[in-house]
Structure 1
């Protein structure tokens, strides 16, 4: 599903260059649930941005579902993101003046679906994440956990190949974090490929594989015995 080979990325810092990723080799098979860990400055956010087609590597290759991701203009990158990827963010990134239903339906507009189809799909995924009764509520009428469930429904609605979750529990208390991880584990159990960037060890243990980055290189990449979130819910 994901194949990354010898990935390098540097940023100009005035007259200097900061080498952030230093030859990353990394692959993810379809249906995996992988966490990416590392301290601030380790390169995990840069790696996620490249995986999400929000940035591009200087060297190396990135292949997603058999498609080389290289030299994309913004229009093609946006189309590929919409086709291949679903995003879940720490800060939810919901539109405050739109209902939960409209937030979930919005990405489908860019796929060219008609209004009726968008609404039906959005209702289905809100039901899937247990939020059907809140479909016409605005984000400020929802709890943090409910907002993240809306974000998960929105990410799923376009039926992406891969879900990329950037600190999805970072703004939540431990009980709500476990509820969200229970939902994510359930989605993975259905076969969806999911990558989670997290700094929380207990969240990483709820995935099936942990990749540790330090100073722009992978220092460990190991399968783990998955802890089921449901036992905490």
Structure 2
């Protein structure tokens, strides 16, 4: 599903060049649930941005579902993102003046899905995350955990190949974090490929594979015995 070979990325900082990713080799098979860990500055956010086609590597190759991701103009990159990827962010990134239902329907609008169909689909995915009764509520009427559930429903609505989650529990308390991870585990159990960037070991242990980054290189890549989120609540 994801195949990365010898990926390098540097950023120009004034007169200096900061080498952030230093030859990353990394692959993810369909249906995996993988966490990417590393301290601040390890390169995990840069890697996620490249995977999400929000940034491009200086050298190396990136294939997503067999397609080479290279030299894409913004229009093509946006089209691929919409087709292949669903994003879940720490800060939820919901549109404050739109209802939960309209937030979930948003990716389908960009795919050209007709209004009736996209609202039906959005309601289906809100039901999936247990929030059908909250469809008409605005984000400021929802708890942090509910907002993240709406964000997950939105990420699923376009039926992407891969979910990319950037610190999805970072703004949540422990109990709510485990509830969100229970939901993510359930989605993965249905066959969805999911990558999670996290700095929390307990969250990483709820995935099936932990990749550790340090100073722009992978220092460890281990299959782990998955801890079921519900056991912690």
The match for 2:61 is: 61
Which residue of structure 1 lines up, in the alignment, with residue 177 of structure 2? Answer: 177
Q: Deviation of residue 232 (structure 1)? A: 2.2
**How far 1:231 sits from its partner (Å)?**
1.3
Q: Which residue of 2 aligns with 1:37?
A: 37
Which residue does the alignment assign to 2:6? Answer: 6
Q: Distance in 1 between matches of 2:20 and 2:74?
A: 23
Q: TM-score, normalised by structure 1?
A: 1.00
- Corresponding residue SS for 2:106: helix
Distance 1:132 1:112 in 2: 23
Any gaps of 5 or more consecutive residues in structure 2?
none
1:217 corresponds to: 217
Distance 2:58 2:143 in 1: 41
2:226 is aligned with 1:232 = no
CA distance in 2, matches of 1:52, 1:100: 24
Question: Quick check: 1:193 aligned with 2:193?
Answer: yes
Q: What TM-score, normalized to structure 2?
A: 1.00
SS in 1 for 2:206: coil
- Displacement, 1:230? 1.2
Instruction: Tell me the alpha carbon deviations over residues 164-211 of structure 1, each in whole angstroms, 9 at most, x when there is no partner.
Output: 000000000000000000000000000000000000000000000000
2:103 aligns with: 103
Instruction: Measure the CA separation in 2 of the matches of 1:117 and 1:80.
Output: 22
Consecutive aligned runs of 4 or more in structure 1 exceeding 3 Å deviation: none
Q: How far has the Cα of 1:58 moved from its partner?
A: 0.2
**Corresponding position of 2:124:** 124
Alignment match, 2:23: 23
Cα distance in 1 for residues equivalent to 2:47 and 2:225: 25
Q: Give the match's secondary structure for 2:92.
A: coil
How far apart in 1 are the matches of 2:141 and 2:43? Answer: 36
Matched residue SS, 2:146: helix
Alpha-carbon RMSD: 0.4
2-structure distance, mates of 1:102, 1:164? 21
Distance in 1 between the 2:142 and 2:227 partners? 28
Once residues 12 and 176 of structure 1 are traced to their aligned partners in structure 2, the CA distance between those partners, rounded to angstroms, is 39
Deviations 1:128-167 (A, max 9, x none): 0000000000000000000000000000000000000000
The 2-side partners of 1:184 and 1:129 are apart by 10
